[in-house]
Amino acid sequence: MSLDELARTAYTPDHEAFRQTVRRFMQEEVAPNAVKWDEEKIVPREIWPKAGELGMLCPTVPEEYGGLGLDFGYNAIVNEEAAYFGGSPLGFSLQSDIVVNYLVQYGSEEQKQKWLPRLVSGETITAIAMTEPGTGSDLQGIRTTAKKDGNHYVINGSKTYITNGQNADLILVCAKTDTEVQPAWKGVSIILVEADREGFARGRNLDKIGQDAADTSELFFNDVRVPMTNCLGEEGKGFIYLMSELPQERLSIAVSAQASAQKAYDDTVAFVKDRKAFGKTVFDFQNTRFVLADLKTKLQVGWAHLDWALNRHAKKELTATEGAAAKLWHTELQWEIMDKCLQLHGGAGYMNEYPIARAWRGARVTRIFGGTNEIMKELIGRSL
């Protein structure tokens, strides 16, 4: 069962026509360079405008701001094809599925006119800076401050584990504009910070155990002055904005996890049918077939659930709890499939020259980012 053989219920013929464009891009522009980009620890900026020309960046942006005005299904297709055929973490989903929504939903008309066309074209690369050295999933505990000084904010603090951190031209910074208000979340705002602002500095490109090509960085803010018009939406509403966009972010993670799991499974079926052991192929052993049968069954269930969630989201009915559950289930499934598929590769599975090793390393973080899976269980548990 490959991506072409799935009977999907979330997509129209227009979606599937778009898929072919995306797939060609992934096969021609991304897949041949994936190992090189891993070695270089970054995806080159030049790939972004190429994706923008094909409508692959931020397809949901309204036409009046340079977008195509499409539904999230087009985002999901980019994520599926990138995970399945691209073989490299591009950073597109952060821009298309997460950052752009904040600008569309909460940005001023001036902010939308200035930034949205650039995000769609790939001229501007974005990041969102939430996590800090001392705070992970607990966004109420952030210490970065944005204090008023005349008609400016002065930002001080540091962020870490920031995706697109090395390439980003525009960073959405979560900062405390009010350090006294209680509860603490009421003091959080989102401030747009251009990367050429004085006092802004990028730290090192962090050395990770997987997803090597994804530039993940420390960011530092030392008396960075930005005009108060750079506040996204209302001051003090940042935490509410962040919470409102989480279902889509977590669904996006689920989509990529499911597609990458399918790729690992398909590659493993091909591998065990070719690899010989004890005078027959590895596939000829009953244990191999039983493991693969179990994984195929779970993938089938996963695709059905994913389409259910995508259809719910298209109707704006996907709840925060359902988004958390999707992220939890599909990333746990991804890890199970990656681990069992690596095992079926034997010693070859431990060698980085085989795709399964790279995929296995890259999958480990999906149970952490977007809110750890332990936090997902806590959120689901609160709804019971």
**What is residue 11's predicted lDDT score, i.e. its pLDDT?**
95
**What is residue 79's predicted lDDT score, i.e. its pLDDT?**
96
**What is residue 182's predicted lDDT score, i.e. its pLDDT?**
83
State the Rg of the chain over Cα: 21
284-321 confidence digits (pLDDT tens): 999 999 999 999 999 999 999 999 999 999 999 999 99
The superfamily in CATH containing domain 3-124 is Acyl-CoA dehydrogenase/oxidase, N-terminal domain (1.10.540.10)
Instruction: Give catalytic status of residue 249 as yes or no.
Output: yes
Report the Cα–Cα distance between both ends of the chain, in Å, rounded. Answer: 35
The sign one gets for the Cα dihedral 17, 11, 87, 130 is: positive
Closest listed residue to residue 217, CA positions, set 93, 91, 95, 101: 91
335 within 8 A of 363, measured Cβ to Cβ: yes
Residues with Cβ within 8 Å of residue 114, at least 6 apart in sequence: none
120-to-36, 50, 57, 97 alpha-carbon distances in Å: 26, 11, 5, 12
185-216 confidence digits (pLDDT tens): 788 999 999 999 999 999 988 888 888 888 89
- pTM of structure: 0.93
DSSP 156-217: EEEEEEEETTTT-SEEEEEEES-SS-SSGGGGEEEEEEETTSTTEEEEEE---SS-TTS-EE
**What is residue 138's predicted lDDT score, i.e. its pLDDT?**
67
**What is residue 137's predicted lDDT score, i.e. its pLDDT?**
62
158-to-38, 200, 211 alpha-carbon distances in Å: 26, 10, 23
**What is residue 335's predicted lDDT score, i.e. its pLDDT?**
97
**What is residue 136's predicted lDDT score, i.e. its pLDDT?**
63
The sign one gets for the Cα dihedral 134, 137, 140, 146 is: positive
145 within 8 A of 175, measured Cβ to Cβ: yes
Give the architecture (CATH level 2) of 245-382.
Up-down Bundle (1.20)
Give the architecture (CATH level 2) of 127-236.
Beta Barrel (2.40)
Going from N- to C-terminal start, the domains of the chain cover 3-124, 127-236, 245-382
d(CA 121, CA 119): 6
Q: Which residues in the chain come in under a pLDDT of 50?
A: none
Task: Tell the residue number behind the tokens 């690899």, with chain if given.
Answer: 275
**What is residue 18's predicted lDDT score, i.e. its pLDDT?**
96
Catalytic residue among 249, 317, 322, 332: 249
**What is residue 187's predicted lDDT score, i.e. its pLDDT?**
87
